[in-house]
Amino acid sequence: MGIKINGVSIPVGGISWEYTESKKKGIQEMFYYLESKRILTNPMEMEIKEWSEKSAIEIKNKLVEILSKYEYDRITVKIIKAMIDTCNEFLDDMQKIDASGIIYKNSQKDWCDMRYSAAMKKFRKNFRYNIKLLTEEYDIEFLKEIPEEY
């Protein structure tokens, strides 16, 4: 936790300050959270649409929380908002899919429902891209792999 001095009183003497969290710490917090989300990092043989939707909502809420908690520069805000938009687009795409229950992978290791496959690939691709930008900007490693093929 950092301390930001925001006032000094002279000659009587006195300092006013506020506690601040580092921006880098916020990105690290975000990465820890995203690394735990199986919708991004787990190349399973099956998925459940409703669980995918719930996970996208949870990710979106966490991103909004981090964006509200830390004061980032314009570029970082744009990247995080792009990730939020990706969650919203994924949720919109899920509304076009009639599948319920388990969605399996076919013999080519792709999702049997092509709309689900396209939505997952787009979701993961956008997160991979934006996480890469943040890793370069803040010199923080994202430790999990987000699969490219599905």
DSSP, collapsed to helix, strand or coil, labels residue 14 as strand
What pLDDT sits at residue 10? 64
Taking residue 40's Cβ as centre, other Cβ atoms within 10 Å add up to 22
What pLDDT sits at residue 87? 98
What pLDDT sits at residue 148? 82
Q: How far is residue 30's CA from residue 49's CA, in Å, rounded to a whole number?
A: 24
Mean pLDDT of successive 10-residue stretches along the chain, which has 150 residues? 59 56 90 94 73 94 96 96 98 85 64 75 96 96 87
What pLDDT sits at residue 66? 96
What pLDDT sits at residue 115? 81
Q: Tokens for 128, please give them.
A: 């991979």
Q: What is this structure's pTM? A: 0.81
Q: Omega of the bond prior to 147 within 30 degrees of 0, cis? A: no
